[in-house]
């Protein structure tokens, strides 16, 4: 992304046609920057390591329930924590972890 040195607005790109070459232009002021050389830049994506759903702090507030069956092993007891993952007017999401096999699943 390029920004206008005059007003700070993000510059738009315009492909070449009869009147002018490729150029960046500011939609707010008359600034124009003609593109004379090809520029290629590759930025590799860096993935963040996945964090566990149940953090160390969450372990202190986790509740246990016996009315839930684990979809992986069928065990009838799981720990759960409620998290607000969507907007405030939506219900909370419940994350479960089986106390036997440690499998994790969620219920919206």
Annotated binding residues for Zn(2+), written as ranges, equal 4, 7, 26, 29, 70, 73, 98, 101
Q: Which residues are annotated as a binding site?
A: 4, 7, 26, 29, 70, 73, 98, 101
CB atoms within 10 A of CB 54: 16
User: Nearest-CA neighbor of 80 among 91, 71, 68?
Assistant: 68
Strand 23-25, strand 12-14: pairing: antiparallel
Element (H, E) at 41: none
């Amino acid at each position: 992304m390029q920004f206008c040195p005059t007003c700070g607005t993000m510059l738009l790109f315009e492909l070449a046609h009869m009147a002018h070459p490729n150029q960046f232009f500011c939609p707010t002021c008359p600034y124009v920057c003609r593109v004379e050389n090809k520029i290629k830049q590759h930025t590799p994506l860096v993935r963040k390591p996945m964090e566990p759903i149940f953090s160390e702090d969450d372990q202190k507030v986790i509740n246990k329930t016996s009315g839930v069956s684990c979809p992986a092993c069928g065990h009838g007891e799981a720990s759960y924590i409620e998290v607000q993952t969507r907007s405030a007017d939506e219900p909370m999401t419940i994350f479960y972890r089986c106390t036997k096999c440690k499998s994790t699943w969620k219920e919206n």
